[in-house]
Structure 1
């Protein structure tokens, strides 16, 4: 079966044999995808003209209601999405829930939040500015929804959430979307779009999907489009330098590589709540979605006196994790999504092993449960220990996109800060400490290179939302290597899909133009 693409208000099958999507446990071919022969320029034109016009005819509140209806459709088809996740991504039930339920939760969050914007169709920012000696000539800043398309070029690891965490704020803003999911796991994204289209919720052209190669998609971008990319820094650089993107100053949002940290404070000693909470979270991040998360813990910074005990405790927990075919009842950890990802993970792990010793895992003698290692894409959860600190050549730079993390002992707080910053920009750091002095020094010192800092102590306990769990009402993004982008953050995300402008004129004119405007301050509420 070849998956169809939804463009120009109709389903279209790409030319040729297409690219096969496979089961990462058995190697079985599942479906094929192709974008060959499709007119992507016409698809963008249709989305702008039809989808954009249909969405902008509605108020923010009406579009919020559409998001609620989409969430209902996805909920009704949840079992089918779990089945596709199992077959195409090798997901356990917990992994599939992380992706699919996360997508539904995000849509419901934006459906609720969007109600506060009411019957408005644009945003009014700040007070009026007097420009003359009297009140006869004034200025008012506005934010208007873009007239272009939100183009999503997504990663393979979150085919459900990766679509809807971007699409929810774009659609709420009144901007149509075109998603190009990563080819290896495009099936789930395509199926979700199909279910929404079949339900007739959105105006024609408001949602579009192209599976397979992006081909000449970026050749057709316009000045009012937005390109949001999740993936490697190398691909992000090519997108940023694309001639059409440069010539038309197209707005770009990037989430790229991230060597995230978990940091234990000096008080997080064995037996303390903070130590135990750190161990639990590190193990979860190594195993949920088999470490295939942009937010997963890659480096574990611990006081030198505590680091060996921490490594031993984490290794002990990993030893109890059964790895194999998710169809088997006892299995807790599944495969990577493809043999290509497995090969990339092994390559990165080999580099890390040049300067770090294996505490647990490493792959020697590892046999997954109910799976043929020659066909399957498994990587054994692996914990490393590196005592080279800032002198390490690879551990601060190489992101193994799988179940691999490295413990790094630090000497004092200055050492911890320097190592956290050595990641050169990360999506998240989690800190396990109840020491007010340690936190007061650490958090501000790493904040400009981290999009999110999660602090856990004994009073928080297990009630925290998780190092790797992106909450829709909190910022997702990071500086430097992490791409420099910003997503989510509640209604703040709508700013990406609006353009600020100022009108200078009479009070009567500004009153008329403000009739459908909502206070932009609500975006930060």
Structure 2
């Protein structure tokens, strides 16, 4: 374990990074303190927006939409291209801010920024491929086709654990689709938002985009309410807990707005008797302990065939005990802090409930570095063997707890896998092609992401990201996720000189 750095040093690092990204000193003086999980101390401060200010932001975004929707798609793509270039230039700066606000280790912070760069590349190509279909008409001398048009103002609400990447997934595609974006970041991610927005602002200005194309709204849940309730916000994309999604969806649906939800995950991996255990060990360790268990795709359940369970658990125990825990900025550290005290207390409560349900803690669960930094919460990732899948296992605890259960046949494993409310990410480790195909089939994993011989974390931007059930059903990033940011029109063109009606209807 390594002690975290003095918060004064971290404040200096972050201040320099913010300045390099173009954030003004005026934006960093306000009534609300910004705390880092690395030390638990305040490093800077910002000023929250009022509800009236948020409504004014919506006014400006709506005005920008009326201009931006007329700009050709490839020209809109130029803004995203330039944004990606600036993100590349300032990758280290932005990663420094991510590390300070989210507590991520260096490689994970840089990896999150790389996701932003990658989605800019993807969206740039998509700006020339906003394709509609042409369909055969049943009427002679007619052509039937679909066209895609800009949707309107997009509201994006993001969570603390990925303070920049999901915003970029949405924004890069929304901008090429012709939509302005209003961003309400987590209260534990405002510095990341200011830096990211400053770079986008520079890209937009250099490319001649209209003012009002992008905005950041700083505040609590009250500040987000206009985005949910205002008819002019055509789409609300929200990343966070299932509880948050249950609040967002009805409010947006009540006005017939669109919503895109990427909510909780209770992700599992099935390990079969034929699995390469060395490979499985690496995939499980990162997915379960990486980011201190604070990814939506973190592996929280391990369903292992009884014939290999003891061997695999012992390998995992030895691997866990080698994980370096400490300041995420230090070389060699693999596990940084939990985001706050509440996360630590939730983890301890879940571990106690698992004990009461007959679980055995194999390793981990203890707080470390508490003497040096009483306001920061570093913990040892935990492995818990459970006799069955109890209620605490079915719930998502946003902390590094891996529950291990055994099975006898694949149908039992899939049943265990699917009987939780969430449906985000899943994996199977196997060398048997039939087992892999079954897991990927309709009778297999019920998640939006299903992997073979890799863990549950680490999705690439080329595929659509999201899940089913309590995960919300939304899809972001790659594939055809761009369609959610646009509206489809079906067009019939009659060049026959006559007016036959469809289905042979006769009227006049």
TM-score range, shorter chain: 0.7 to 0.9
Alignment equivalent of 1:246, drawn from 234, 253, 263: 253
Work out the CA distance in 2 between the residues paired with 1:197 and 1:138: 42
Q: TM-score scaled to structure 2, two decimals?
A: 0.86
Residues 280 and 165 of structure 1: CA distance in aligned 2, closer, same or farther (over 3 Å):
same
Residue 219 of structure 1: how far off its partner (Å): 5.5
Partner of 1:125: 133
| Secondary structure of 1:449's aligned partner | coil
CA offsets, 1:112-132, max 9 Å, x none?
x22542xxxx6432314234x
Q: How does 1:255-270 map to 2 (within 5 A)?
A: 255-268=262-275
Residues 96 and 219 of structure 1: CA distance in aligned 2, closer, same or farther (over 3 Å):
closer
Work out the CA distance in 2 between the residues paired with 1:212 and 1:476: 27
Alignment equivalent of 2:126, drawn from 114, 117, 137: 114
Work out the CA distance in 2 between the residues paired with 1:265 and 1:504: 54
Aligned length: 470
Does residue 381 of the first structure (1) align with residue 381 of the second (2)? yes
Partner of 1:351: 353
Does residue 394 of the first structure (1) align with residue 407 of the second (2)? no
Partner of 2:6: none
Cα RMSD, aligned residues only = 2.7
Work out the CA distance in 2 between the residues paired with 1:428 and 1:262: 9
Residue 489 of structure 1: how far off its partner (Å): 2.8
CA contact (8 A) 1:156 1:182 kept: yes
CA offsets, 1:297-347, max 9 Å, x none?
111111012112111111111111111122444422110122233233333
Work out the CA distance in 1 between the residues paired with 2:35 and 2:478: 35
| Secondary structure of 2:459's aligned partner | coil
Partner of 1:289: 291
Residue 240 of structure 1: how far off its partner (Å): 1.5
CA offsets, 1:455-492, max 9 Å, x none?
12xxxxxxx6x5311211112111102111111233x0
CA contact (8 A) 2:68 2:178 kept: yes
Residues 11 and 21 of structure 1: CA distance in aligned 2, closer, same or farther (over 3 Å):
closer
Does residue 228 of the first structure (1) align with residue 237 of the second (2)? yes
Once the two structures are overlaid, the 10-residue window that deviates more, 75-84 or 53-62, is 53-62
Work out the CA distance in 1 between the residues paired with 2:315 and 2:258: 46
Partner of 1:413: 410
Alignment equivalent of 1:156, drawn from 147, 154, 160: 160
Partner of 1:443: 440
| Secondary structure of 1:124's aligned partner | coil
Alignment equivalent of 2:319, drawn from 307, 317, 320: 317
Residue 252 of structure 1: how far off its partner (Å): 0.8
Partner of 2:467: 478
Work out the CA distance in 2 between the residues paired with 1:428 and 1:353: 26
Work out the CA distance in 2 between the residues paired with 1:423 and 1:83: 36
Residues 385 and 80 of structure 1: CA distance in aligned 2, closer, same or farther (over 3 Å):
same
Partner of 1:143: 148
CA contact (8 A) 2:150 2:177 kept: yes
Work out the CA distance in 2 between the residues paired with 1:97 and 1:282: 21
Work out the CA distance in 2 between the residues paired with 1:289 and 1:99: 11
CA contact (8 A) 1:13 1:35 kept: no
Partner of 2:53: 39
Residue 225 of structure 1: how far off its partner (Å): 0.6
Q: TM-score scaled to structure 1, two decimals?
A: 0.83
| Secondary structure of 1:394's aligned partner | helix
CA contact (8 A) 2:237 2:260 kept: yes
| Secondary structure of 1:225's aligned partner | strand
| Secondary structure of 2:133's aligned partner | strand
Partner of 1:94: 107
Work out the CA distance in 1 between the residues paired with 2:356 and 2:496: 71
Residues 333 and 16 of structure 1: CA distance in aligned 2, closer, same or farther (over 3 Å):
closer
| Secondary structure of 2:470's aligned partner | helix
| Secondary structure of 1:253's aligned partner | strand
| Secondary structure of 2:71's aligned partner | coil
CA offsets, 1:258-315, max 9 Å, x none?
10011112312xxxxx211111011112332212110111111110121121111111
Once the two structures are overlaid, the 10-residue window that deviates more, 66-75 or 20-29, is 20-29
Residues 197 and 116 of structure 1: CA distance in aligned 2, closer, same or farther (over 3 Å):
closer
| Secondary structure of 2:189's aligned partner | helix
Alignment equivalent of 2:457, drawn from 468, 482, 485: 468
Work out the CA distance in 1 between the residues paired with 2:25 and 2:94: 22
Residues 508 and 32 of structure 1: CA distance in aligned 2, closer, same or farther (over 3 Å):
farther
Structure 2 residues not aligned, in runs of 5+: 1-10, 16-22, 498-508
Residue 502 of structure 1: how far off its partner (Å): 2.2
Work out the CA distance in 2 between the residues paired with 1:349 and 1:442: 30
CA offsets, 1:168-217, max 9 Å, x none?
11111111111100001221122110122134244311111111224232
Partner of 2:20: none
Work out the CA distance in 1 between the residues paired with 2:445 and 2:431: 22
